[in-house]
Amino acid sequence: MGSKQKVGSLALVVALATVGISACNPTPKTTAGSGGTGGGAATKPLVIDTVFVLKSADPARNYEPTGNIVARALYDTLVSFKGADLKTPVPSIAQKWEQSADGLTWTFTLDPKAKFSDGTAVTSDDVVFSLNRVERVKGNPSFLADGLTVTAKGPETVEVKTAAYDPALLGKLASPSLGIVNSKLAKAAGASDAENAATADQAEAAFAKASMGSGPYVLDSFGLSTEVDLKANPNYWGATKPNYQRVVIRNVDAAQQKNNVEKGESALALDLSPDQVASVGSGVVSSGVPSQYTFYLFTNANPAVNKWTANPDFQEAVRRGIDYNGLLELAGKGSRRAAGMVPVQFAGSLPDDKAPTFDADAAKAALAKSGYDGSPIEISFPSDLTQNGVSFTDMSTRISADLNKIGIKTALKGAPVATVLELARGGKQQVGVWLWGPDFPDSSNYLAFGPGGIVGGKRVNWKAGSDPALESIMKQAATEKDEAKRADLMGQFQEGLNQGPVMGLIQPAQVFLASKDLKNLTYNLVWTVNVAELG
């Protein structure tokens, strides 16, 4: 990953900790309800309750969870994914694509049926403008387009060249932030794809008033802290038409979301914990699957920060001394043990039997071998952050108790996320407890945790050259073109990672509470739910 890239959820957690909720139970502009018609547009709106993490309606400036739900509905991308599958890119605006033998050049053929909501055709010029603009406005998602040279090779042909081989390119192109905009309308609203677009582009406010895409929905109203209202696109060109005429996405406190669904005031709640849905009313259903997030722990590999956390035998004691089943109990139903850092939904994730296991005797033996002298070890974590119902304070307290049992004396150092994030970025945490969400749907994103990576090198102080064998595997995984071989290499990388200072803990559950009438509900790690698929 490049230096400009957002670092997984280390950037997101600040937004999560500071986002405001305008109302516990806002009233949508239309009567709440659910029940799609399975092909036509339902007369009642689909009402979705979530805690807003939302900064912009402009896809080139959007890189937040709520914004991804909205942008996925308004803007088609060159390629996409269907349902929960993030391993198989499917056509969208591009009906087919080819990759050059050296892997550096991709040629996309656009679907001639693709058209914007105003009825005009989507052309290669629109694609070139959109992708260049994402990189040049320098918004949060600009790293997704770094190093790309995008050229129109005809009205329906686009060539994308990468500066170096990028195995994640298709996954990046499926990001809602890289949605294709109507360049004519966008330019008229002040948008720019020029080299100085970071200052010249003045279109963000216009995108909050009217969408300029080809997606199944168009924007009706945009409330940054209240609700976002969508209307079915009457000119939608795709084969599957949206089932709901209207979609209302509301900013609702998690404590109120369950009540709203049970009373029929909303059809779907996105921010509940497993405990909250342990008992629900007869008219609703709950489900939980592993979320996009991986909670992890690291011990600082720099002996100048702490000589014990940098000791491989001490690291092994920590790794074997954590009661992972206890962490799963804390996270609740639907959570999963993280066998490695890569989520189970991605190619290259490790099977459960490859996960490090809790063994108190082995942990104590490793601790004795390290020579540990009983000095207090600081465990720092964001005390004001909860993700998917899991409090960092509760998790860190559990880990501290586990380590105390094997003989490691710990000192809990919880602090506001901004304070702890500064420590992490400076490589000053002795033991850090964090989470990571993927920047894009590809396992190569997790190479950041290896020696010399943005996380491994800068935060963990696991410097390049520390593990030549593992670094060799990392280099191969970053350049391998055969997907099956690359998945195997990513597995090998994580097995090596599991012997070092970075330790995957759990994937907490993404819990849905929904009306029984709501169909086709699946969780996607990038955009949470595709409202156009719901019926």
Helices (H), 149-225: 169-173, 183-188, 197-200, 204-207
For 398-428, what is each residue's pLDDT tens digit? 999 999 999 999 999 999 999 999 999 999 9
For the domain covering 294-507, report its CATH number.
Answer: 3.10.105.10
Beta strands 268-272; 509-515: pairing state: antiparallel
CA-closest candidate to residue 45, choices 56, 35, 37: 35
Could you tell me which residue, 480 or 10, shows the higher pLDDT?
Answer: 480
pLDDT value of position 14: 42
From CA 297, how far away is CA 410, in angstroms rounded? 14
pLDDT value of position 406: 98
For 165-200, what is each residue's pLDDT tens digit? 999 999 999 999 999 999 999 999 999 999 999 999
- Mean pLDDT value of segment 351-365: 96
CB of 209 closer than 8 Å to CB of 226: no
Weakest-pLDDT range from 206-220, 342-356, 360-374: 342-356
pLDDT band at 282 (very low <50, low <70, confident <90, very high): confident
pLDDT value of position 281: 86
Q: Which option is the CATH number for 8-276: 3.40.190.10, 3.40.50.300, 1.10.8.10, 3.30.200.190?
A: 3.40.190.10
Domain ranges, ordered by start, for the chain:
8-276, 294-507
From CA 389, how far away is CA 387, in angstroms rounded? 5
CA atoms within 13 A on the CB side of 219: 25
For 505-524, what is each residue's pLDDT tens digit? 999 999 999 999 999 999 99
Share of the chain above pLDDT 70, in %: 92
**pTM for the whole structure:** 0.90
CA-closest candidate to residue 396, choices 297, 321, 329, 499: 297
pLDDT band at 34 (very low <50, low <70, confident <90, very high): very low
pLDDT value of position 4: 39
Assigned token pair, 210: 């009217």
pLDDT band at 43 (very low <50, low <70, confident <90, very high): confident
366 contact partners, CB below 8 Å, separation of at least 6: 313, 314, 316, 317, 320
Residue 8 has pLDDT above 90, yes or no: no
CB of 439 closer than 8 Å to CB of 140: no
From CA 101, how far away is CA 104, in angstroms rounded? 8
Share of the chain above pLDDT 90, in %: 89
- Which residue type occupies 436? W
CB atoms under 10 Å from CB of 291, counted, come to: 27
Weakest-pLDDT range from 25-39, 76-90, 148-162: 25-39
Instruction: Tell me how far CA of residue 40 lies from CA of 33, 242, 246, 266, 268, in angstroms.
Output: 16, 7, 12, 20, 20
pLDDT value of position 41: 52
- Mean pLDDT value of segment 272-277: 92
Residue 533 has pLDDT above 60, yes or no: yes
- Mean pLDDT value of segment 491-507: 97
pLDDT band at 384 (very low <50, low <70, confident <90, very high): very high
pLDDT band at 13 (very low <50, low <70, confident <90, very high): very low
pLDDT value of position 314: 98
CB of 342 closer than 8 Å to CB of 446: yes
Helices (H), 297-377: 312-321, 324-331, 360-370
pLDDT value of position 42: 61
pLDDT value of position 239: 87
- Mean pLDDT value of segment 95-111: 97
Residue 107 has pLDDT above 90, yes or no: yes
CB of 228 closer than 8 Å to CB of 249: yes
pLDDT value of position 7: 47
